[in-house]
Amino acid sequence: MAHESTGAIYAAAGANLAIAVAKFTGGALTGSTAMLAEAVHSVVDTANQVLLLVGMKRAEKPADDRHPFGYGREIYFYAFVVALMIFLGGGVFAVYEGIARIRHPEPDVDAEIFGYRLPGIWVNIAILGFAIAAEGTSFYVAMRQFWAEKGKHTAIRAIRRSKDPTLFTVLAEDAAALIGLLIALAGVALSHVLGMPSLDGWASVGIGLVLVGMAGFLMIETHGLLIGEAADPEIVTAIAALAAAEPGVLHVNEVLTQHLGPSDILVNLSIDMADDLSAGEVEGLVTRLDRALKQRNPDVTRVFIEIQQKGDHAVRAAA
């Protein structure tokens, strides 16, 4: 999934950079607070994509003495930082600017471009239209790749079970951006048509609340990955079935798994084996089981097998 995620990130970064320039230009020319809030949002999104790329690169570092299980969780840390930046750099700023505009409403001013004076409303609408088209393209790229990965699950279920935060973070950012753009478009249009400049401020507040909600959702998802989540239940069930099918395995006591990265699963397997097996037979069984688990699921990279009697394991687990 790394290749697909990288493509979505590059598409989102390019779109957001172009959109940010256009929005800042529109905000400076017309004085629209909603436009300014959207411009800051696009800058934050661009920085977020850069952070995700940095996290993906650092997660590829090989294991060393200080980090014997590798650096796979780096991507989870950077994804959490991205969610925090959306909350602070996008959401809180937009709400603050919107409240200031509501308290001190000012009408949009005409924009002067190459010596021509244009109504501010049309400048804002043109820029927002461009932004919606660019953001929609980025969203389409991310959605197409996400749809290919989600399989038979619903979108929310697929996000909840995904262990790769990069693609669903970009998807969530693009969705929030499109919603924010529609709110900004409604705000600048209604403030002009109704002659109520405060509506532009309310649009900025609405954009901020969307970003705060999206950031909260991403924080919850990435927090679980950061502290360590088990593999998907289907994978755990398959591991237990594979171990139980091995000749000489009397009982599978416990299957513990943890994601050390999006494609890096650690497996700790406790099994009860027949007492009449020789040391060589035990060694052969463990070797076969280790190989079989890794062949069954390439994401399984480390397997630790404990040999315990069923009763002893139950006593230890209860202690």
Q: With beta carbons less than 8 A apart as the criterion, state whether 150 and 196 touch.
A: no
Neighbours of 279 (CB within 10 A): 7
Residue 164 to residue 1: CA distance in whole angstroms:
8
Amino acid making up residue 135 = E
Cα 258–Cα 163–Cα 251 angle in degrees, nearest 5: 35
C-alpha of 210 from chain center: 16
Q: Tokens 């924080």, residue?
A: 219
HSE of 167, CA atoms in CB hemisphere, 13 A:
27
Burial class (CB in 10 A: 0-12, 13-18, 19+), 217: middle
**Closest listed residue to residue 82, CA positions, set 57, 50, 114, 129:** 50
- pLDDT for 150 equals 64
Rounded to an integer, what distance in angstroms lies between the CA atom of residue 230 and that of residue 228? 7
d(CA 252, CA 3): 36
Q: State the Cα–Cα distance between residues 264 and 258, nearest whole angstrom.
A: 8
- The full set of domain ranges for the chain reads 2-227, 233-318
CATH node for 2-227: 1.20.1510.10
Side-chain-side CA neighbours of 181 within 13 Å: the count stands at: 25
The residue among 161, 164, 158, 200 whose CA lies nearest residue 183 is 200
- pLDDT tens sequence for the chain (319 residues): 444 567 778 777 887 888 888 878 877 777 777 777 778 878 888 888 888 889 888 888 988 889 898 898 899 999 898 888 888 877 888 888 889 888 887 776 656 665 566 666 777 788 888 888 888 888 888 788 777 776 676 767 777 777 888 877 888 888 888 898 899 889 888 888 888 888 888 988 998 899 899 888 888 888 888 888 899 888 999 999 999 999 889 999 999 999 998 889 999 999 999 988 899 999 999 999 999 999 999 999 999 999 988 766 555 555 5
At position 173, the amino acid (one-letter code) is E
Segments in the chain forming alpha helices (H): 2-30, 33-59, 74-85, 93-103, 120-150, 155-161, 165-193, 198-227, 233-244, 279-296, 310-318
CATH number, span 233-318: 3.30.70.1350
| Residue 312 neighbours by CB under 8 Å, 6+ apart | none
CA–CA distance from 53 to each of 56, 76, 102, 270 (Å)?
5, 12, 38, 37
What does the angle CA 177 – CA 222 – CA 131 come to, to the nearest 5 degrees? 10
How far apart CA 220 and CA 223 sit, in angstroms, is 5
pTM of this structure: 0.76
The Cα-based distances of 135 to 56, 124, 279 in angstroms read 23, 16, 62
Complete edge-to-edge strand list for the sheet that includes strand 300-307 = 249-261, 264-273, 300-307
